[in-house]
Chain A
Amino acid sequence: MVATPASPASPASPASSKAPVTARPLHAAPVPVARPSAADMLSVAEPVFEIADLEVYYGKFRAVRNVNMTIRKHQITAFIGPSGCGKTTVLRCMNRMNDLVAGARVGGTLRYHGVDLYDPQVSATEVRRRIGMVFQKPNPFPKSIYDNVAYGPRLSGIRDRAKLDEIVETSLRAAALWDEVKDRLRDSALGMSGGQQQRLCIARTVAVEPEVVLMDEPCSALDPIATARIEELMRELVSRFTIVIVTHNMQQAARVSDTTAFFTAELDPSADRRCGLLVEFGATSKLFSNPQDERTENYITGRFG
C-alpha cells in the first residue's frame, strides 16, 4: 500500500491516516453534525483513492497542482474552494473523464485500490463502470425513465426483463424517486423537473452498482427542498458506496461530508496564470472548526481574498 506522502500543503491528512486502528478520532473541537459511526471510520476505513502529487495540465496550462489525499471507503469527501481552483478537474481525473478533453494531461499518481488509474493497461471504460459520475447539470438521455436507469445494466449485458425491472425499481427507490415515477416509467425523462432529473441521474449511476460515485455540484441547479433530498440520499448511499462531492455550498459540505478537501487558486509564477492547489485535507469537523491553514480559515469564514 502506498502511503500518501506528507505534503506541506495538506497538513491535516497524515494526522488522521497515521492514527492507530483502535484509536478514537482526534476530534478536539465540536463536531458540526453528530455522526459518530462515520466519524469513527475516519482513520480506519480502507483507502479507495490514494492521490500523490497530482497535477493536471490543459495543453501547456497547469490547472491544478500539489494534490495529495487519501479518500476512504464509505465516506463522503467534499471538495470545496473558490471557482477555478481545479475541483472539477481533479474529480474528473478520478474516473478518467478528463480523457475526453483534448490536451488534458495528468502528472503524479492516482491510485485506485492500489492500481494506477493512468496505467496504459487500465481501460477508461472499465474505470468509469466502477466509478460513476453525477454531473452539475442533470443530463438524462432522451429516452424513457425506465430506459435511462436500465441503460447501464444493459451495457453490462443484462437482458433479462425481470432482472432489469428489479434493478430499475431498486435504483429508483435508492434515489428516492420510485414513488413519484412508478406509474410513468415509460414517459420521457425530459418531461421531469430538474430535481427529479438529477435524482434520475443518481438512480442511473446507482443502477450499475459502482464502487464510487463522483458528484460535481449535483445540487447547484436545485431548490433547497430538492437539495435536502439529495443530501439525505447521499447519507443513505454512503453505506453502499464511497462518495466524492464538489460543492460551493460550505454548509452542505459541513452537513454531509466526513472529510473535506479545500482547494484554492494562486498565481503560478512560472506561467503567470492562476493555478489551483490543494491547501488542506482532513476531517470535516476539524477543518471547519479548527483549520490548520490561514487560507482555509479565511475561506470558510468568508474572508476570502
Chain B
Amino acid sequence: MARALDLRGRGDGADRAFRGLAVGAATVVLVVLGLIAATMTRRALPVLEHMGPGFFTSTRWSPADEEFGALPFVWGTLYTAAIAIVIAVPVSLGVALFITQLAPQRLKRPLVYLVDLLAVVPSVVFGLWGILVLSPHLGRSFLTAGIILAIMIIPIITSLSREVIETTPQPEKEAAYGLGATRWEMILASVWPHSKGGLVGAVMLGLGRAMGETIAAALVIGSALGQITVDPLAPGNSMPAVIANEWGEADELHKSALIALAVLLFIITIIVNLVASSIVRRSMARTAGRRT
C-alpha cells in the first residue's frame, strides 16, 4: 500500500519557533517603548494643562513663578547640535576619506581602531575635559558645548561614512581613474554620487546623538535660563542638560515640566532618526537598483 505523498517540510517546526521568537522580541520592544511614551506623556500632562500652548512658545522658564516655557531649551539643543554638526561633518568626512582613500594599508586598521575607541569614551570624560581645557578660554557656552558634542559625534559619523564610502564599487572608481582623474577628482565623480545618501544618513544619526547628549552638555553649556541668542559665547541650556540639572530640587509641577521636555526631545530625535533612515533607505534602494 503506497503511503500518501508527504510534502511537509522537516524544518517547518523550527522555522515557526524562530519566527515566534523574533516576533515576540519585536513586540516586547514595542510594548516597552509604548509604556515609556504613555507614562511620560501622562506625567507631562499637568504642566501642559497649567501652561497650555505656552509651554511650547514661551521663552520664560522660572520654576519659582511656575512659568515653564520650553523654547530656550529647544533653541539651546538645536543651536549646540548645529554647531556640533558644522564642526564634526568636515572633520569626519576628512578622516573617513583619509582612511578609505589615502592612508597606507598598514595605517588603516590602527586608525579605524582609534576612531572606534573614541566612540566608547564615556561622555562625562569629554564633559570634564571641556570644563578643564575649553571653559578657561570659551567660558561655559553654546560654543563649548557644541565643540564637545562635535568631538563626541565625530567617531559615529566617521565610521558610518567610512563604511558607506567603502561600498563604492571598484569599477566605478576605475571609470574615473581610467580617464586620468586624480584621487580627488575620482572622489567627486565616483565616491560622492555613490555615497551621498548614506553620508546624509550618517550625519543625521550624529545629529540625533548630539541632540540627546545629556551629561557632557550639562557640564559645559553654562546652565543659563531663558537665553535665546546666536552669540556662541553666551551661556545657555539644552533640554537634556536642564533635566539633569534641575530634577533633584524640582517639586511636582516642575518635575512634570521636565518630563514634558523629555517627551518633546524624544519626539524631535525620533523625527530626525526617521528622516535619516528614510534617506539612507532611499539611497540604498537607488544604488541597488543601479547594480542590476
* Real binding pair: yes
Cα-based distance from A141 to B193 in the complex (angstroms): 9
Q: Which residues of B contact A (CB under 8 A)?
A: 105, 170-182, 185, 189-190, 193-194, 290
**Which of A135, A141, A205 sits near B189, CB closer than 8 Å?**
A141
Identify the interface centre among B105, B171, B173: most chain A CB within 10 Å of its CB: B171
A142 touches B180 (CB 8 A): no
Contacts of B172 in A (CB 8 A): 139, 141
Chain B residues with CB under 8 A of A105: none
Instruction: Confirm or deny: A95 has a beta carbon within 8 angstroms of a beta carbon on chain B.
Output: yes
Report the minimal beta-carbon distance from B192 to chain A, rounded to whole angstroms: 10
Q: A170-209 toward B: CB 8 Å interface, digit per residue (1/0)?
A: 0000000000000000000010000000000100110010
**A155 in the interface (beta carbon within 8 A):** yes
Residues 122-134 of A, flagged 1 when their CB comes within 8 A of B and 0 if not, give 0001101110110
The reply to whether A97 and B177 contact each other, CB–CB distance below 8 Å, is: yes
Are A139 and B179 touching (Cβ within 8 A)? no
- Assess the B178–A205 pair: CB atoms within 8 A: yes
Q: Is the CB of B171 within 8 A of A152?
A: no
Q: Which residue of B lies closest to A126 (CB)?
A: B180
Choice from B174, B179, B193, B290 contacting A129 with Cβ under 8 Å: B179
Q: Which residues of B contact A143 (CB under 8 A)?
A: 193
Q: What residues of chain B lie closer than 8 Å to A81, measured between beta carbons?
A: none
**Number of cross-chain contacts by CB at 8 Å:** 61
Complexed CA–CA distance, A151 and B105 (Å): 30
Q: Which of A100, A142, A208 contacts B179 (CB 8 A)?
A: A208
The 4 closest A-B pairs by CB, nearest first: A129-B180, A133-B178, A152-B179, A139-B171
B194 closest partner in A (C-beta): A142
* New A-B contacts (6) at CB < 8 Å, excluding given A128-B180, A133-B174, A155-B179: A100-B173, A100-B174, A100-B177, A129-B179, A143-B193, A151-B179
15 contacts between A and B (CB under 8 A): A95-B178, A100-B170, A125-B181, A128-B179, A128-B180, A129-B180, A135-B174, A137-B171, A140-B175, A141-B172, A151-B179, A151-B189, A155-B181, A190-B290, A204-B179
Tell me the smallest distance from the CB of B6 to a CB of chain A, in Å.
Answer: 45
Roughly how many angstroms separate A155 CA and B178 CA in the complex, as a whole number?
12
Q: How distant is the Cα of A140 from the Cα of B171 in the complex, in angstroms?
A: 9
Bound together, the chains give a CA A142 to CA B180 distance in angstroms of 18
Of chain B, the residue at the smallest CB distance from A204 is B179
Instruction: Report how far A162 CA is from B75 CA in the complex, Å.
Output: 51
**Contact across chains for B171 and A135 when beta carbons are under 8 A apart:** yes
Which A residues are within 8 Å of any B CB, using their own CB? Answer: 95, 97, 100, 102, 125-126, 128-130, 132-133, 135, 137, 139-143, 151-152, 155-156, 190, 201, 204-205, 208
Q: Which residues of B contact A190 (CB under 8 A)?
A: 290
Given the complex, which residues of A lie within 8 Å of B105, measured CB to CB? 102
Task: Give complex CA distance A156, B181 in Å.
Answer: 9
B181 touches A142 (CB 8 A): no
Cα–Cα, bound, A72→B114 (Å) = 51
Complex: A299 Cα to B246 Cα, angstroms:
84
Give the shortest distance, in Å, between B174 (CB) and chain A (any CB).
7
* Chain A residues near B189 (CB-CB < 8 A): 141, 151
Q: Are B290 and A128 in contact (CB under 8 A)?
A: no
Minimal beta-carbon separation of A62 from chain B (angstroms):
20
Closest to B170 in A: A100
Closest to A102 in B: B105
Q: How far is the CA of A100 from the CA of B174 in the complex (A)?
A: 9
Report the separation of the CA atoms of residues A102 and B100 in the bound assembly, to the nearest whole angstrom.
Answer: 13
CA of A142 to CA of B176 in the docked complex: distance in angstroms?
12
Please indicate the chain B residues that have their CB under 8 angstroms from the CB of A139 in the complex: 171-172, 174-175
Quote the shortest CB–CB distance from A300 to chain B (angstroms): 30
A contact residues around B173 at 8 Å (CB)? 100
Residue numbers in A under 8 Å from B178 (CB-CB) = 95, 97, 128, 132-133, 135, 205
Q: In the complex, how many angstroms separate the beta carbon of B90 from the nearest chain A beta carbon? A: 24
Write the chain A residue with the least CB distance to B171: A139
User: Contact between B171 and A155 (Cβ–Cβ < 8 Å)?
Assistant: no
Query: Are B177 and A142 touching (Cβ within 8 A)?
Result: no
Residues of chain A with a CB closer than 8 A to B180's CB: 125-126, 128-130, 152, 155-156, 208
Interchain CA distance A201-B175 in the complex, whole Å? 9
Contacts of A155 in B (CB 8 A): 179-181, 185
Least Cβ–Cβ distance between B25 and chain A, in angstroms: 38
Q: Is B179 within 8 A of A205, CB to CB?
A: yes
User: What chain B residues lie within 8 Å of A201 (beta carbons)?
Assistant: 175
A190, closest chain B residue (CB): B290
Q: How far is the CB of A156 from chain B (nearest CB, A)?
A: 8
Q: B residues within 8 A CB of A132?
A: 178-179
What residues of B have a CB within 8 angstroms of the CB of A205 in the complex? 178-179
The answer for the CA separation of A83 and B256 in the assembled complex, in Å, is 73
- Smallest distance from the beta carbon of A40 to chain B beta carbons, Å? 32
B171 close to A141 (CB less than 8 A):
no
Q: Closest Cβ of chain B: how far from A18's Cβ, in Å?
A: 34
Q: How far is the CB of A136 from chain B (nearest CB, A)?
A: 9
Q: How far is the CA of A107 from the CA of B282 in the complex (A)?
A: 46
- Which residues on the A side are within 8 Å of B194 (C-beta)? 142
Q: Which of B105, B178, B181, B182 has the most CB of A within 10 A?
A: B178
With both beta carbons as reference points, the residue of chain A lying nearest to B287 in the complex is identified as A142
Q: Give Cα distance in the complex from A137 to B178, angstroms.
A: 14
Interchain nearest-CB distance for A201 vs B (Å): 8
